[in-house]
Structure 1
Amino acid sequence: MRAKLLTLVALAILVLSHPALAQDGEAPAQAAQAAKAATESQVRAPDTMGTLVSLGIGLLAVIAIIYGCAWIIRRMNGMTGMNNQAIKVVSVMALGARERIALIEVGGQQILVGITPSAIRTLHVFDEPVVDASNPPSGDFARRLQGMIGRSWNAPTRND
């Protein structure tokens, strides 16, 4: 009984607070005005060219921001004072899934280091350079590749 009474009171408050329902004389006028506004908005076609131009400008702005951020990051890496010519990795050999040894040249001296996921340890410091880092590898594959790079890449002609 109490729930029904509360429901009726809530319904009465809703009816009295809504302006279209509270004033019967203005309800049809407001409904007609709303219908007229709805038909006018449907008659006016959206400005598709303006929308496309706005969308294109927004897309170009996002792409420009991405390129600008990439340029700034590249410039910031150069300002950190890193000198990549001081340390050279001469050779790396994998020993396991995550373990490897590397031959590093620092100031004309070569150092053999062991690299694991948790540590890097010096294995040996060589008095004389073991491998010349400036010379390219002299293997058979390297020689053939250098020979192919020097040749022109035109297709061979057939003499049929």
Structure 2
Amino acid sequence: MRRRCDPAVGLTLLWLAPAVALAQEGAPANRPSVPDSVGTITSLGIGLLVVIGLIFVCAWLVRRMSGLTGMNNQLMKVVSVLNLGARERIALIEVGDKQILVGITPTTIRTLHVFEEPVTDPNATTSSDFARRLQGMISKPWQGDKPSGDSQ
């Protein structure tokens, strides 16, 4: 009749075997007591450079692959967005020749209204009063430090 060994006892013996072997051998005589600091720093530096390199490669891949999902951006456009609160907003989206007004919250997106004809022309540049004034100031030639009322 054969006796079976308990698996837990076998695993415990395997776990303790290296410790027992090291205790019996003792410390080798030619082993240095101080670790090789130059070798350790070099290996840590190389490992750090490899990890940083992997991060840059992954970032490059993510940037490269993000263009694949949005290949057909001409079919849908966000015409305008109005923030109503910290997490709520209304967006006017153009799909084909229709414009759709949607309400966006953290949990839902609801269609508020579908316009058969465009409310706004997405190709027209809408500018505020500040933008018009700034553009006017930029387009004027700079007069330098000359007084404007001086006629010499």
Give distance in 2, aligned partners of 1:158 and 1:59.
Answer: 59
**1:36-73 deviation digits (Å, cap 9, x = unpaired):** 757x645xx9463x555434332221111001111222
Secondary structure of 1:61's aligned partner: helix
Residue 108 (structure 2) pairs with residue 119 (structure 1): yes
C-alpha separation between the residues in 2 aligned to 1:86 and 1:106?
A: 6
Q: TM-score, normalised by structure 1?
A: 0.56
Q: CA deviation at 1:105?
A: 0.7
2:102 maps to 1:140: no
Q: Which runs of 5+ in 1 are unaligned?
A: 1-17, 20-29
Could you say what secondary structure the match of 1:79 adopts? helix
Q: Over aligned residue pairs, what C-alpha RMSD do you find?
A: 3.6
Question: Where in structure 2 are there 5+ consecutive unaligned residues?
Answer: 1-22, 148-152
Q: 1:63 maps to what in 2?
A: 52
Give the number of the structure whose residues are more often helix, by fraction. 1
Separation (CA, whole Å) in 1 of partners of 2:44 and 2:106: 48
- Percent identical across equivalent pairs? 61
Q: State the secondary structure of the residue aligned to 1:138.
A: coil
Change (3 A) 1:82 1:41: same
Higher Cα radius of gyration: 1
1:100 lines up with 2:89 in the alignment: yes
1:75 paired with 2:83, answer no
Give me the whole-angstrom Cα distance separating, in 2, the residues matched to 1:151 and 1:63.
49
Read off the aligned partner of 2:74 and give its amino acid letter: Q
CA distance in 1, matches of 2:37, 2:85: 63
Of 90, 93, 99, the match for 1:110: 99
SS at match of 1:137: coil
Size of the aligned set, in residue pairs, is 122
